[in-house]
A and B are shown apart, each in its own frame.
Chain A
């Protein structure tokens, strides 16, 4: 046990160190990869938090895109500085998350999934249909008088990634943790009625939604341009799901490992099959299917089994539902 604890603590420390050092000393390529990894970490942890409470988001790009638009609009229309636009992004995500949670009330998770799906499409349509506000399908450029340096923005994304992990860790230690586990188990059993108050659902979707939106906000400062297709790209939705599933659902390190793996997998696909449009998402689709059917615990589960030499667990087939996993580092 001690061996694993020390190992995982040092891995976290390494990650933190990289997040701090790469923006300062890394090569442009390293910075680019690290930036995308950090963005996906935030999205993956966010998706994982919702999933931990039994809520499957099939439209995570809705949060990301909303956060991006919130940032760009506040910057362009209100001249807000960098950090303020991020606060607005955060708030927009919290609002959207709470809204979805309130709309779906205590309904089964499938309705949550459907609502997020509809949201990602609906928000995209709205963005296209309001060109006066958003620039419509043509998009808009970020026009800010107070543009912080690129390094600053890179640090910001690193901070977002680190912050997201800290928040997930804090939640796993709080009393919310039990409520979420129960909500997830409840979803499977579908037996009890109204035991778990709406407030937990609203809390988790607000928190995780805000994190995903925050990533979107930082991203738009990084890219400097936004249009509906970019903001609500299917790619974002897919990778937000793939990363935690690949890495290990309901764990703390799973989404991080999965984010790294997903970015690398995506890049590898793009390099080797890049001339074939659609190859990377095809690969992701297949990864999703394979993981659901054959790799219930993702990479994280594989590592954990390797270190602890545990024999096959009697958990139900498919994605791991072991409650004990939630708080593992």
Chain B
């Protein structure tokens, strides 16, 4: 039986998830010029939020999604104002180490509070599936894909057509000129960081019924998100989508076609990062890499 259609189906659904996972990082970098090394932990928190709401209150993840998205936004705003804002103009090393340290602290708070045991939410659709032709489609994955599409489209619409979205893009292009327009760049930064964390929270909610989650689940996701945004070009949303597709297909095909592939699939992101940096640092779209 030809597994190609199955592989393609899996890859496409995975690409949706990966886009959602990486687009927050891309936005954060495009506007604030900072890579949020705590991004993975934001996703992890979203996942645990969904888990606890499901386990303690029986709330379906899709219902808790909007709640957690808003909570993620608020948390992002607070983290920005409390920590990130202080290193906006500091040397890169400070910015890198700050978000790295925050991620580390959050990860271990999670370990302490919730232990390292694997969890997941188990709504009915997480495991039910349909057979379409020869292809098995797990409903949970389809739902995840739908959520991803909705959120990314909403993001693009916001950036393209709303007043604050326009202002955000202006800040990303030229912070000084944006200030001259009367745009409060601090607020835009906080807003963007909040949105970025909100998207991470959404990713986490979705992840909670697709994968098993532990406090350690954030780091590999960070590496994948980084691979995606580098591939697609830092700061470009279209590029992020392309990057997500490439990574998703790469991992899926690796696990189907390479013997022992599912283990190696985790290393695809790593290979992509190195490969892109060697071949074409600019990525497919997006900002040129400044050189020293």
Contacts and interface: CB of A to CB of B under 8 A. Distances in A.
A and B touch in the complex (CB under 8 A): yes
B97 A241 contact: yes
Contacts of A293: 83, 86-87, 98
B191 interface: no
A119 to B, nearest CB: 8
A282 B109 contact: yes
Interface string B109-149: 10110011000000000000000000000000000000000
A104 interface: yes
A108 B291 contact: yes
Given A110-B92, A278-B108, A58 B37 contact: yes
A190 B263 CA distance: 39
A196 interface: yes
Task: State which size class the interface on B falls in.
Answer: 35 or more
A293 B90 CA distance: 10
Nearest to A296: B94
B248 interface: no
A308 B61 CA distance: 59
A316 B86 CA distance: 12
Contact of B91 (A118, A187, A196): A187
A56 B291 CA distance: 16
A238 B273 CA distance: 22
Interface in A94-116: 103-111, 113-115
Contacts of A265: none
B269 to A, nearest CB: 7
A108 B94 contact: no
Contacts of B90: 316-319
Contact of A285 (B35, B101, B263): B101
Contacts of A54: 93, 292
B220 A121 contact: yes
Nearest to B111: A278
B22 to A, nearest CB: 13
B271 interface: yes
B230 to A, nearest CB: 7
26 contacts: A51-B93, A54-B292, A105-B291, A107-B277, A107-B289, A110-B35, A110-B96, A118-B223, A118-B273, A119-B270, A121-B219, A121-B223, A125-B263, A125-B266, A126-B267, A245-B97, A278-B111, A282-B109, A285-B102, A285-B103, A286-B105, A287-B101, A288-B105, A317-B90, A318-B87, A318-B91
Interface of B: 35, 37, 83, 86-87, 89-94, 96-98, 100-109, 111-112, 115-116, 215, 219-220, 222-223, 226-227, 230, 260, 263-264, 266-267, 269-271, 273-274, 277-278, 281, 289-292
